């Protein structure tokens, strides 16, 4: 059986591929998972306690708020969250449900005004088995979509190229938030 080649021998060798290095993703991949308990260990309890720019908060309502997704699928990917630490949609009060829905609609309007997407994905993953990264605190994704925004990178390279910084998108959405 032949000996495997040492990959160090290939450092700097051109192979026809360009690489987009995304070391910042390691924070998410290797990071601690949010606590199930309310408080500083939950990113959706911690965000509204910070200033808007630091917490990436786009808009604050009475019962719910809108925050940038720290690991967005597309520029403008926001999350609508209740302030209260509840895991399921059915756990919301009627007032929270009303505002949760109103903020989802307002997020769509702000994204339309700020960046003219061609469509949206809206969704909630309730429970870890359903794909919720933070299962203990309800949140709804609002993801703007454009024709051609998905390409070979996520499929082949498990990499997503994002053309705007989170704070730039947050500022733009806050500026275009419906009155």
Give pLDDT, residue 131: 84
pLDDT digits (tens, 9 = 90+) for 115-125: 999 999 999 99
Of residues 59, 77, 137, 139, which has the active-site annotation?
A: 139
pLDDT digits (tens, 9 = 90+) for 56-109: 999 999 999 999 998 888 899 999 999 999 999 999 999 999 999 999 999 999
pLDDT digits (tens, 9 = 90+) for 121-156: 999 999 888 888 889 999 999 999 998 777 656 655
Q: Which residue has the higher pLDDT, 115 or 36?
A: 115
Residues near 126 by Cβ (< 8 Å), separated by ≥ 6? 87, 88, 89, 132, 135, 138
Q: Is 24 a catalytic residue?
A: no
Q: How far apart are CA 69 and CA 62, in angstroms?
A: 20
Instruction: Work out the average pLDDT over 23-30.
Output: 61
């Amino acid at each position: 059986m032949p000996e495997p080649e040492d990959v160090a021998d290939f450092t700097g060798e051109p192979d026809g591929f360009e690489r987009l290095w995304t070391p910042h993703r390691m924070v998410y991949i290797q990071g601690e998972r949010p606590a199930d308990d309310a408080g500083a260990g939950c990113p959706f309890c911690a965000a509204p306690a910070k200033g808007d720019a630091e917490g990436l908060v786009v808009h604050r309502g009475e019962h719910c708020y809108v925050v940038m997704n720290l690991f967005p699928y597309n520029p403008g990917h926001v999350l609508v969250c209740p302030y209260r630490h509840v895991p399921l949609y059915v756990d919301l009060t009627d007032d929270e449900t009303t505002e949760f829905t109103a903020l989802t609609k307002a997020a769509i309007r702000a994204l339309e005004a700020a960046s003219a997407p061609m469509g949206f994905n809206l969704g909630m993953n309730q429970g870890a088995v359903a794909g919720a990264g933070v299962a203990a605190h309800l949140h709804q994704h609002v993801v703007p979509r454009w024709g051609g925004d998905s390409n070979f990178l996520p499929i082949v390279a498990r990499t997503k190229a994002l053309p705007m910084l989170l704070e730039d998108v947050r500022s733009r959405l806050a500026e275009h938030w419906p009155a």
